[in-house]
C-alpha cells in the first residue's frame, strides 16, 4: 500500500508553475490576461476534463452564499471553476505541496485568490473545524485513498447538517 508521501511524490513535477507559465505564453497569453477557461486543459487533468467537471458540479446546488470544500483539489482547477461560475467561497485540500503552491499562483493570476483558499494536508485528517462547509466534492481522488471509510468520516465531520457531498470516485 503506498504511503501519503509516495502519492505526493508521484504527482510532484518540480517546476510546475513555470511550466504552466510557458504553456500560457505559447498560447499567446500572459499571466495578466489568462482566464479560468484558458487554464482548463491543464487545470482539470482528470477523466472527462472540463465537461465532466461542469456536468458534475452542476448537480451540487451551488450558490454564492455557500462555502465549498474541494477534497483533493490538485491545482485548484475545479475550485476556480466553482468560484468563478457560482460565486462560492471555496477551500481546497490536497496532499501534494507543489499542487497547492502552484494552485495559489494560478488563483492569483486569474484574480480569485480572495475567493479560494488552498491548503496542503490529508483528506484522512482534515485541518478544518467540524461543520465548516455547506458542500464538499472530490473529482477522481478516491483512487489514491485506500481508507474510504475514514475519508467519508472526515467529509461528514466537516460538513454542516444537510450538507451535500458529491464524488466522482475512481
Residue 159 in contact with residue 133, Cβ under 8 Å? yes
Supply the pLDDT for residue 100.
97
Supply the pLDDT for residue 103.
97
The listed CATH number (3.40.50.720, 3.40.50.300, 3.40.50.150, 3.40.50.1370) that belongs to domain 4-168: 3.40.50.150
Supply the pLDDT for residue 109.
96
Supply the pLDDT for residue 42.
81
Supply the pLDDT for residue 168.
85
Supply the pLDDT for residue 9.
55
49-82 b/e with 16+ CB inside 10 Å = b? ebebbeebbeebebeeebbbbbbbbbbbbbbbbb
Cα–Cα separations (whole angstroms), residue 4 to 9, 10, 45, 98, 149: 9, 10, 20, 14, 16
- pLDDT (tens, 9 = 90+) of the chain, 170 residues, equals 666 655 555 555 568 888 998 988 988 889 899 999 999 888 876 778 888 899 999 999 999 999 999 999 999 999 999 999 999 999 999 999 999 999 999 999 999 999 999 999 999 999 999 999 999 999 988 888 899 999 999 999 999 999 999 998 65
Which pTM was predicted?
A: 0.88
* Residue 38 burial (CB count, 10 A): 16
Amino acid at each position: 500500500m503506498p504511503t501519503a508521501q509516495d502519492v505526493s511524490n508521484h504527482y510532484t513535477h518540480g517546476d510546475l508553475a513555470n511550466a504552466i507559465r510557458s504553456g500560457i505564453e505559447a498560447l499567446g497569453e500572459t499571466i495578466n490576461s489568462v482566464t479560468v477557461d484558458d487554464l482548463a486543459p491543464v487545470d482539470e487533468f482528470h477523466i472527462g476534463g472540463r465537461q465532466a467537471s461542469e456536468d458534475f458540479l452542476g448537480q451540487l446546488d451551488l450558490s454564492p452564499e455557500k462555502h465549498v470544500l474541494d477534497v483533493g483539489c490538485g491545482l485548484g482547477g475545479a475550485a476556480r471553476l466553482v468560484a468563478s461560475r457560482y460565486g462560492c467561497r471555496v477551500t481546497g485540500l490536497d496532499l501534494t505541496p507543489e499542487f497547492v503552491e502552484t494552485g495559489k499562483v494560478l488563483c492569483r493570476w486569474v484574480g480569485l485568490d480572495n475567493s479560494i483558499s488552498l491548503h496542503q494536508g490529508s483528506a484522512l485528517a482534515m485541518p478544518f473545524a467540524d461543520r465548516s462547509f455547506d458542500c464538499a466534492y472530490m473529482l477522481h481522488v478516491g483512487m489514491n485513498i485506500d481508507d474510504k471509510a475514514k475519508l467519508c468520516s472526515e467529509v461528514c465531520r466537516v460538513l454542516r447538517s444537510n450538507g451535500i457531498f458529491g464524488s466522482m470516485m475512481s
